[in-house]
């Protein structure tokens, strides 16, 4: 359960997902990017303790739902493993390097350097 609306990346949520927990979080900040509601976790409106409690109760009372969501949470968290993050970063660099250069701009940069 993570009701914060101020954590920008959602590291706490991601760590819970990677640990095999079914997260319930406020639909704000990083949590809203990490969690697919009803698939890899539960999102609730920010600052709504009644909705938060209802989703927690739903997972407590639904062990099969909880296990399914926990498995999807683990799967989703793998996209943020360092190897996966670095693979995407290097692919982005390769894409930029492969783009044709604007020769006029290159000359201006060489003169300025």
What percent of the chain has a predicted confidence (pLDDT) above 70?
89
Band the pLDDT of 7: cuts 50, 70, 90. confident
- Residue 111: the pLDDT is 45
> What is the spatial distance between Cα 50 and Cα 59, in angstroms, rounded to a whole number?
15
Band the pLDDT of 101: cuts 50, 70, 90. confident
**Average pLDDT, rounded, for the chain:** 91
Total count of residues recorded for the chain: 113
Q: Which is more confidently placed, 77 or 102?
A: 77
Written as one string, the DSSP assignment of 26-63 is ESSHHHHHH--BTTTBEEE-TT-HHHHHHHHHHHHH-H
**Domains observed in the chain:** 11-81 (3.40.50.2000)
- Residue 113: the pLDDT is 43
């Amino acid at each position: 359960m993570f009701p914060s609306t101020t954590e920008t990346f959602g590291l706490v949520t991601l760590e819970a997902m990677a640990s095999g927990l079914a997260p319930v979080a406020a639909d704000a900040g990083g949590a809203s990017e990490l969690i697919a509601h009803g698939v890899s976790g539960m999102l609730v409106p920010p600052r709504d303790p009644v909705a938060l409690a209802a989703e927690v109760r739903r997972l407590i009372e639904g062990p099969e739902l909880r296990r399914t969501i926990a498995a999807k949470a683990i799967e989703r968290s793998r996209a943020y493993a360092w190897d996966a993050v670095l693979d995407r970063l290097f692919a982005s660099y390769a894409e930029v390097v492969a783009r044709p250069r604007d020769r006029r701009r290159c000359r201006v940069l060489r003169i300025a350097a």
